[in-house]
């Protein structure tokens, strides 16, 4: 996809100026020749400024992002919003490169429910909250930041808002994959199923 002149400058054309003056900037997308909005690498941007997006149209266990290069990109952000499930005791797993072996991951969490706080450390890929009782107007939201330096383990931190019974719940998690391999794909796996209408967006910072 070719970019408008001047090439490879992060910015936009000032639509108020009939001469088409170019305004360089570091914080907004530029436009391709076909009018599609692209990021500074020339890749299309989907709704909400995300690089990739998955919308669940039928219940499914996994949400996958592929064709990644975390060694080069250094950081990804994922915003996951998912709809009601049958119970409030489900969880979400964050896995890389198709590796679903629990022992290859570690996570530490702190969770708050009203005045009750709990914490724990486990050898599995858990990252967020997966359950929202059916029949409520609540959704469960997990925000994840993933970083990696070449030759090092990828690290992720998340904060999640969920529901226990009819009350709000908060959980923070630190997560690592015990591998130095480059991350080329990301899998979000629900203990049960992601409900219809769930959305996952991946941002490349």
Mind listing the pLDDT tens digit for each residue in 186-199?
Answer: 999 988 888 888 89
**Which pLDDT score, from 0 to 100, does residue 23 have?**
47
**Which pLDDT score, from 0 to 100, does residue 2 have?**
37
**Which pLDDT score, from 0 to 100, does residue 36 have?**
53
Confidence of residue 1 (pLDDT cuts 50, 70, 90): very low
Phi-psi region of 109 (alpha: psi -120 to 50; beta: other; left: phi over 0): beta
Confidence of residue 6 (pLDDT cuts 50, 70, 90): very low
pTM of model > 0.85: no
Mean pLDDT of the chain: 80
> pLDDT digits over 21-34, tens only?
444 444 455 544 44
**Which pLDDT score, from 0 to 100, does residue 168 have?**
82
> pLDDT digits over 150-174, tens only?
899 999 999 998 876 677 889 999 9
Residue from 51, 72, 54, 71 nearest 63 by CA = 54
Pairwise CA distance, residues 14 & 174, whole Å: 43
Higher local confidence (pLDDT), 143 or 59: 143
Which whole number is the average pLDDT over 142-152?
94
């Amino acid at each position: 996809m070719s970019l408008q002149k001047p090439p490879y400058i992060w910015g936009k054309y000032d639509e108020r100026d009939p001469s088409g003056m170019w305004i360089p900037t570091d914080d907004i997308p530029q436009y391709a020749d076909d009018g599609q909005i692209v990021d500074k690498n020339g890749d299309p941007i989907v709704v909400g400024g995300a690089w990739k997006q998955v919308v669940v149209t039928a219940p499914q266990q996994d949400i996958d992002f592929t064709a990644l290069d975390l060694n080069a990109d250094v950081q990804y952000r994922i915003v996951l919003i998912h709809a009601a499930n049958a119970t409030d005791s489900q969880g979400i797993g964050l896995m890389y490169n198709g590796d679903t072996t629990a022992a290859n991951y570690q996570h530490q969490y702190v969770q708050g429910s009203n005045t009750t706080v709990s914490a724990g450390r486990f050898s599995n890929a858990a990252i967020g909250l997966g359950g929202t009782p059916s029949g409520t107007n609540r959704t469960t939201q997990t925000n994840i930041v993933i970083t990696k330096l070449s030759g090092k383990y990828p690290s992720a931190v998340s904060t999640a808002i969920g529901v226990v019974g009819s009350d709000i719940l908060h959980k923070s998690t630190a997560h690592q994959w015990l591998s130095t391999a480059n991350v080329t794909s990301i899998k979000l796996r629900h203990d049960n199923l992601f409900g219809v209408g769930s959305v996952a967006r991946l941002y490349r910072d």
